[in-house]
Amino acid sequence: MPRWLLLVVMFGTLAQAPAVAAAAGMPTNWRFALPAGRAASGEQVFVRMECYSCHTVAGKQFGKPGAKPGGIGPNLTSEYAKLPREYLAESIVNFDRFAAHGQLKRSYLADDGTSRMGDYNDLLSVRELVDLVEFIMSIR
């Protein structure tokens, strides 16, 4: 598990333990919030990671000219791009959680019921994740 995700899990656990959180001086209304990123940098991450091979973005052509990518994962031009930053980030770093809760279309799942999305946790820095989420949000 990447260190940054371990911190999110650790702090999330603290938020569920009020006595520990209070002793640490943590505000009672604290929640993890992903900062705003840079959409242009996120688009570069999208291209470098070849996200377009599974995800469609209307009005954008990625990859080789004439290629018809997408269709495996959600169309990022739809309602998906209107979701909160934190939800989008988790859908990238903890994608099987969404599959386990039936939140993905059957076509997005492998035969064993897990998401067909690859594991990018060791390939993305926190900055790249933040920027990628910002790019997805800018597609609206």
3-state secondary structure of 123: coil
Nearest to 4 by CA among 122, 95, 119, 88: 122
pTM summary value: 0.74
Domains of the chain from N-terminus onward = 1-32 (no CATH), 35-138 (1.10.760.10)
Query: Which amino acid belongs to residue 32?
Result: F
Q: What is the pLDDT along the chain (140 residues), one digit of tens a residue?
A: 555 555 455 555 545 567 777 777 888 788 888 999 999 999 999 999 989 888 888 878 787 766 666 667 778 886 777 888 998 998 898 877 765 555 556 667 777 767 778 788 899 999 999 999 999 999 87
Q: Show the tokens assigned to 40.
A: 């242009």
